[in-house]
Amino acid sequence: MEFRPSHLVTRQFAQYSTVKMEEIKDYSPTNDPENFEDDYSSTGHSSQADLANMLRFSNQQKSWRRHLPCPLMGAVCLLIVLATINIFLLLIRTPTDAQCTKQLSTYFFLTLAAPALEAVEYEEMDFTAIFNSTSIYRGPPTPEREKAWTRLTYKHGIEVPADKLALLNRTDLDHIKHVPTSVGTGYRGILEVFHQLHCLNMIRMYTWWQVGKYPGLPTGFSTSKLKNRMHIDHCFESLRMSLQCHGDVTPVLIQTGGPVGSKADFRTHHKCRNFQKLEDWIDNNWSIN
């Protein structure tokens, strides 16, 4: 380290002080903002002002971005709103009769293969089932009455496509009978409603036969009393299961007054499948005698 004599240091300080004092003599305060800015800029502080402006602009940008929704979040919110609207519309939408029919039938593929369900139409009607009402289907056997019941029950068969057998909870292992090869490769079948009507007709004939209203053995009966009894019991059971399966919940009202007092009003109001449409379809689309 270089050692300087004290008198040299004193001389240099005196020279520096003289220069600074001369600069101070030229200084005069001012209240003029323009002169202040000029003086401030002239001292090299303009860069600090620019930096302050940049920081202020940056903060404004950050604040703006904070208030701007994220595009991804906005898209997610839009999807949630649309999904909610769609679910609401599905819940309030009333299904068509055709949709209800398909929903309640295991054999819904008929609408594609052999459209029996497309023949299903609905109509509202009052039943006429009071005790003293008349009908072609009520009463002791007559030639006209037997023909009417025969028209209801003896219908042609249909072909169930081979690839649809599983819909009926069956497989080839169940030994289901095929249609003739001249018809196709599917299986024989009849619509359940016509089997149920057949059973109802068998019970009707059996009751009248028991009281001697048939001159001979009714059509479809055996000479074996045991076989006849088994057949009738089968029909009772089949109709019982069908009635419980469909479970009609239509209210039966009670009427008051009259000679017998209170009685059930069996003129119940129903929404029914148009049976004539089903008959027409099976008559026009059968494949097996």
Q: Give the helix/strand (H/E) hosting 24.
A: helix 6-25
Could you tell me the pLDDT band of residue 218, with boundaries at 50, 70 and 90?
very high
Q: Count CA atoms within 13 Å of residue 211 on its CB side.
A: 9
Position 98 scores a pLDDT of 64
> Mean of the pLDDT values across residues 54-65?
56
Contact call for residues 228 and 248 (beta carbons, < 8 A): no
Which residue would you say has higher pLDDT here, 209 or 28? 209
With 80 as the cut, is the pLDDT of residue 106 above it? no
Query: CA-to-CA distance for 133 and 1, rounded, in angstroms?
Result: 138
Cβ neighbour number for residue 101 with a 10 Å cutoff: 21
The residue among 12 and 280 whose pLDDT is bigger is 280
How much is the mean pLDDT over the chain? Answer: 78
